[in-house]
Amino acid sequence: MFSKRLWMKESRSVWWIVIILVLGFLYAQTGGLYSDTKDWQMQYDYFQSDGFQEQQQMADGDSKMTPEQVKASLTLSYFTTGFPGDKFSTHYTMSRSYFALSILVVILGLAMVSWERYTRKDHFSLVAPFKRSSMIGVKLLLGCLSITVAYGISLWLGLRHLFLVIPSDFIDLDMQKVYVGLLGNLGTFLLLFVLAIFVGTIMGELLATVITLLVITVMPRYIYTVWFILMQLLYPDTSSDKFANWTSYANVFVIFGNSEFEYGPFILQLVLLVLFGMGSVLFYKRYSIENNGKVLAFSYLRIPCAVLVSFGGAILVANFWFSDGQMELPSMTTFLIILAGSFIGCLVICYMVLYRNTWVRR
């Protein structure tokens, strides 16, 4: 794992993705925070201008701002999406570039395992004089270090500029929420990367890997929606406000998904990160080149994967069915029929792909 040749070999195969990733983080975080700082300065200059003072002298009643309201509108209290009310809030978190960054970290993981197998470059890699555990360890460390360094440097540059411009009198941050939010975002990027590595180790076909990643990352949010509908059907006389709010847990794969700044979703991210990392090492060591091009690299995973994908398919179908312009809740019978029918239908499709398709018979 500490071989210089091994690190150089792995770096050469993904250097272009790492460069794009670094530039993406600089654009999203450094550039976004610079833009927010400019907006704050423009707002501050406006409140200090003669035009604003004259406007306030002519205003009366509710249209006139008090000094406390002016200071509140300039006070930085948020580093995430939300509804800050009369507080100043950064808008770099609203950028679509974070969605592109999420895709990039997944591509980085796919390039290290799945793309290598798709192009048959793993035939050369696995005959190299390195242990398989060292190879997958370097892949994981290289990707995690690249993401962490790019995330940390771009965020530091942006925050440094922001804190240099905005006086401390206008900063009122809850540091616990700041740390949980920003570290949680980093955890999400790392989790997406390690998940791509893990799925790539158990799949032998690139398209199947992409589909499985899509199902795993999207499914938690829809599970929460279907669970919420089930609770409303079971307890029709109970207010929806009484039900547990699992939104932050359901958004574990979403950047800025921990909108409540809770420790639970952050801990869940760390647990999943460790489990997927250990699973990647375990399956990579046992992978056979002969399974390249198959849907699943390990035959004993057919049934668990078929059940998981069928469950995810049933959740997605049920969610789209019930949310397609329907104002009223379905009956419990309809709810169960849709879930069971979708699950069985997806299970039949999985059987046809995993047991009848020629991909697994070559």
> Position of tokens 């994908």?
309
Residue type, 152: G
**What confidence category does residue 358 fall into, taking pLDDT thresholds of 50, 70 and 90?**
very low
Task: Report whether pLDDT(359) > 50.
Answer: no
Q: 256 forms bridges with which residues in the sheet? A: none
Task: Report whether pLDDT(291) > 90.
Answer: no
What count of residues does the chain have?
Answer: 362
Question: At a CB cut-off of 8 Å and minimum separation 6, what does 272 contact?
Answer: 191, 195, 252
pLDDT tens-digit series, residues 67-81: 788 888 888 877 765
Q: Which two tokens stand for residue 20?
A: 């794009």
Residue 2's SS3 state is: coil
More confident residue, 245 or 281: 281
Question: In the chain, what percentage of residues exceed pLDDT 70?
Answer: 87
- How far apart (Å, rounded) are the C-alpha atoms in residues 205 and 120? 11
Neighbours of 303 (CB within 10 A): 12
User: Strand runs (DSSP E) across 57-214, as ranges?
Assistant: 76-78, 88-89
Q: What is the DSSP string of 299-322?
A: GGGHHHHHHHHHHHHHHHHHHHHH
Residue type, 255: I
Give the Å distances, CA to CA, from 275 to 148, 195, 242, 308.
19, 10, 33, 17
Task: Report whether pLDDT(82) > 70.
Answer: no
pLDDT tens-digit series, residues 298-351: 878 888 888 888 888 888 888 877 765 455 677 788 888 888 898 898 888 888
pLDDT average, residue stretch 30-34: 92
Q: What is the DSSP string of 211-259?
A: HHHHHHHHHHHHHHHHHHHHHHHH-TTS-GGGS---HHHHTTTSTT--T
Give the Å distances, CA to CA, from 197 to 69, 72, 273, 275.
50, 46, 11, 12
Q: How many CA atoms lie within 13 A of 146 on its CB side?
A: 28
Q: Nearest CA to 206 among 131, 95, 325, 122?
A: 122
Q: Is the CB of residue 196 less than 8 Å from the CB of residue 213?
A: yes
User: Strand runs (DSSP E) across the chain, as ranges?
Assistant: 76-78, 88-89
Number of separate helices (H) and strands (E) present in the chain: 14, 2
Question: In the chain, what percentage of residues exceed pLDDT 90?
Answer: 24
pLDDT tens-digit series, residues 155-207: 999 999 999 999 988 888 888 888 888 899 999 999 999 999 999 888 878 88
More confident residue, 243 or 6: 6
H or E stretch covering 53: helix 50-58
pLDDT tens-digit series, residues 106-153: 999 998 888 888 777 766 666 667 788 888 888 999 999 999 999 999
Q: Which two tokens stand for residue 40?
A: 């704050």
Task: Report whether pLDDT(237) > 80.
Answer: no
